[in-house]
Structure 1
Amino acid sequence: MEVLSSLSLNDLVVSFSKLPVFPLFDVAYYIISILYLKYEPGAVALSRRSPVASWLCAMLYCFGSYILADVLLGDSPIDYFSNNANVLLASAVWYLMFFCPLSLFYKCVSFLPVKLVLVGMKEVVRVRKIAIGIHHAHHHFHDGWVVMVLIGWVKGSGVALMSNVEQLLRGVWKPETNEILHMSFPTKASLYGAILFTLQQSHWLPISKANLIFFFTLLMATCKIYMTATHSHGSPFALLENGICSILFGSANGDHNGHADHHHDDHEVSHASAKSKEELNEGTRKRKVKKAE
């Protein structure tokens, strides 16, 4: 306790929770978001062929969470575009990312040490958005836990949840890449964070919001920086998720699937046997023809 007091951890936590994210952290968020857009196949060609479509995709990457949350809460989905400073900053980042001479801007922000710093800063913004989303939903629906979790989740990962809409703007349609079917780490972590912040907002979790923001940001930033540095796409929660899901929902390869696979295998074996017999008969027929000749 004396060590914690000497380090003034409580003051650090409170100061961190009040740290403004505009403009420095917001710019980092825009840079990483649009950097991921540039990684998408065909994104660079689209920026040359249709700059307007490319800009709209970039705005969805930057503000998709706000748009989706406003739609769910019955607000205007273009309200956030009234923040001229944020829109101009995001637009400037988009222009530099795609049209900077010699791709100097892209080379600088994609340099791994710089990228790791920006990734950590982006997670600071993500956690703040989750917390703000929970507070906003609590103001509209005081006892609506599901609504609070949903809005917090959307605030943290709305860009990924709207990925199919963004793909349509790029002329791509890949329904099999639905984020709900194949959740990435940020989407899963945003959902878990939304649950924690909802419990805290409803006074079911005995921790202050400042502490929760600090420790959850630390967790998110650490995991994301490590995954980016090691080029890992797996979830750090995979072992825990597999254990819990196997208990609550059963194994993914249950008896039903086993029977289906067994039936499929039997069908393949029968088909292979029939095919072998046909080949054998065909060979016998050919030999008889040769003898007759």
Structure 2
Amino acid sequence: MDWNFYSICEAFTLLQMWPVFDVVHYILMALNMKRELSTSVAFAFERRHPLASWITTMLLCNAGPILVCLYLGKPLAIILKSPEKIAVSTLVWYAVNYVPGVFTLLTNRWITCLLVSAKEVQRVYGVYGGVQEASQLYSSYYVVLFTLGFIRGTASEIMMVFARLLAGIIKVHTAQTVSPNVFLFPSCLFKASALVSAMFCLEHYSYIQVNHSVLFSCTIAVLIYLRILMILGVIADPFVPFENLFCAIVFGGMWDAYKLVVRQDRKGTQANGAVHHQKMKTS
């Protein structure tokens, strides 16, 4: 077979998510939940409350199907149609939380890079699958297509908000929090999922005239590249400069800056007047 650029891109669109990519997703969700619980309480949460630890991890592992069912009005029992996935995710949860050395091994920087690379492949598949699923039900409602794709790409981050409540974790969120509230501090992947979902919607409505396999593969490559750079500490959030510019234009930032300049100018004028008045008195 002649493995040229287009055939390689086509191969990326034919990958099967189960079992490899789904298991990687389960591993990352178990790691995220254990890390969140360990930084939020002063004791080993998974040892004192194993049921809550298991339920919250299962919520993250199945966040996509749960939110899609709620969004489309489907029965949540659909999630239980694959008992093998529940069993595998439970084994992953047990290994991460109770088998010595597993958590340390999986949090190694280079192993993390491999895991997140596979996760980004699954993310793009999820976003595209959400857009395609919505197009079969509401083909003329572009907002539904975008929203469902976006939900499929960021479901675990959204579900983390509810998982914290179930675990009884209530804390003040800042940008430096391990897993901050995604609605208060949207992550880079949260924004990237919205961008990817919008791109696939534009492709669906033929506003983007590009070979699908090339667009799909390039999207995967860009997300993997950004994610690895973020893990290695090379970049933080590439969307921040555009956010700052957008907020300055749309949400009153320019007007606030203008008022600040005017206020400082008035203070300077008043100070100069006071100095001049003092000189006049001394003279």
Q: TM-score normalised to the size of structure 1?
A: 0.79
| Residue matched to 2:182 | 179
Q: Partner amino acid for 2:75? A: S
| Residue matched to 2:240 | 238
Question: Once the 2 structures are TM-superposed, how far is the Cα of residue 163 of structure 1 from its aligned partner?
Answer: 2.1
SS in 2 for 1:171: coil
Question: Once the 2 structures are TM-superposed, how far is the Cα of residue 89 of structure 1 from its aligned partner?
Answer: 1.4
Which runs of 5 or more residues in structure 1 are unaligned? Answer: 1-5, 263-293
Q: Aligned partners of 2:57, 2:248: CA distance in 1, in Å?
A: 39
Q: How does 1:33-182 map to 2 (within 5 A)?
A: 33-40=29-36, 41-42=39-40, 45-100=44-99, 103-174=100-171, 177-182=180-185
| Residue matched to 1:284 | none
* Structure with the bigger percentage of helix: 1
Q: Aligned partners of 1:63, 1:253: CA distance in 2, in Å?
A: 44
| Residue matched to 1:213 | 216
Which runs of 5 or more residues in structure 2 are unaligned? Answer: 174-179, 265-283
Counterparts in 2 of 1:190 and 1:253: CA distance versus 1, 3 Å: farther
Q: Partner amino acid for 1:106? A: F
SS in 2 for 1:162: helix
Counterparts in 2 of 1:46 and 1:82: CA distance versus 1, 3 Å: farther
| Residue matched to 2:205 | 202
SS in 1 for 2:128: helix
SS in 2 for 1:18: coil
Question: Once the 2 structures are TM-superposed, how far is the Cα of residue 203 of structure 1 from its aligned partner?
Answer: 1.4
Counterparts in 2 of 1:174 and 1:69: CA distance versus 1, 3 Å: farther
Q: Partner amino acid for 1:213? A: F
Q: How does 1:11-26 map to 2 (within 5 A)?
A: 11-26=7-22
Q: Aligned partners of 1:228, 1:150: CA distance in 2, in Å?
A: 28
Is the Cα contact below 8 Å between 1:27 and 1:89 reproduced in 2? yes
Is the Cα contact below 8 Å between 2:161 and 2:181 reproduced in 1? yes
Is the Cα contact below 8 Å between 2:6 and 2:213 reproduced in 1? no
Moved more, 40-49 or 54-63: 40-49
- RMSD after superposition: 2.5
4+ runs of 1 displaced by more than 6 Å?
none
Q: Partner amino acid for 1:194? A: S
Q: Aligned partners of 1:175, 1:162: CA distance in 2, in Å?
A: 18
Q: Partner amino acid for 2:10? A: V
Is the Cα contact below 8 Å between 1:164 and 1:173 reproduced in 2? no
Q: Aligned partners of 1:138, 1:190: CA distance in 2, in Å?
A: 18
| Residue matched to 2:278 | none
Question: Once the 2 structures are TM-superposed, how far is the Cα of residue 211 of structure 1 from its aligned partner?
Answer: 2.0
Is the Cα contact below 8 Å between 2:154 and 2:193 reproduced in 1? yes
Question: Once the 2 structures are TM-superposed, how far is the Cα of residue 230 of structure 1 from its aligned partner?
Answer: 1.7
Counterparts in 2 of 1:225 and 1:254: CA distance versus 1, 3 Å: same
Counterparts in 2 of 1:85 and 1:210: CA distance versus 1, 3 Å: farther
Question: Once the 2 structures are TM-superposed, how far is the Cα of residue 175 of structure 1 from its aligned partner?
Answer: 7.6
Counterparts in 2 of 1:112 and 1:250: CA distance versus 1, 3 Å: same
Question: Once the 2 structures are TM-superposed, how far is the Cα of residue 254 of structure 1 from its aligned partner?
Answer: 2.0
Q: Aligned partners of 2:256, 2:186: CA distance in 1, in Å?
A: 22
Is the Cα contact below 8 Å between 1:167 and 1:173 reproduced in 2? yes
Question: Once the 2 structures are TM-superposed, how far is the Cα of residue 119 of structure 1 from its aligned partner?
Answer: 0.9
Moved more, 175-184 or 14-23: 175-184
Q: Aligned partners of 2:187, 2:155: CA distance in 1, in Å?
A: 12
Q: Aligned partners of 2:77, 2:231: CA distance in 1, in Å?
A: 32
**Rg bigger for which structure?**
1
Q: Partner amino acid for 1:191? A: A
